[in-house]
Amino acid sequence: MTLRLCNWHQDYTDRPTLIALIETGSGPGAILYACPDCMHIYRLRPFDPATSGGPVYQRRRT
User: Which residues 6+ apart lie within 8 Å of 30 measured at CB?
Assistant: 21, 23, 57
pTM over the 0.75 mark: no
Contact in structure between 43 and 15 (CB atoms under 8 Å) = no
Residue 17 bridge partners (DSSP): 34
Quote the CA–CA distance of 26 and 3 in Å, as a whole number. 29
Tens-digit pLDDT profile for residues 6-60: 999 999 999 998 887 766 666 666 778 999 999 999 988 887 765 555 544 455 5
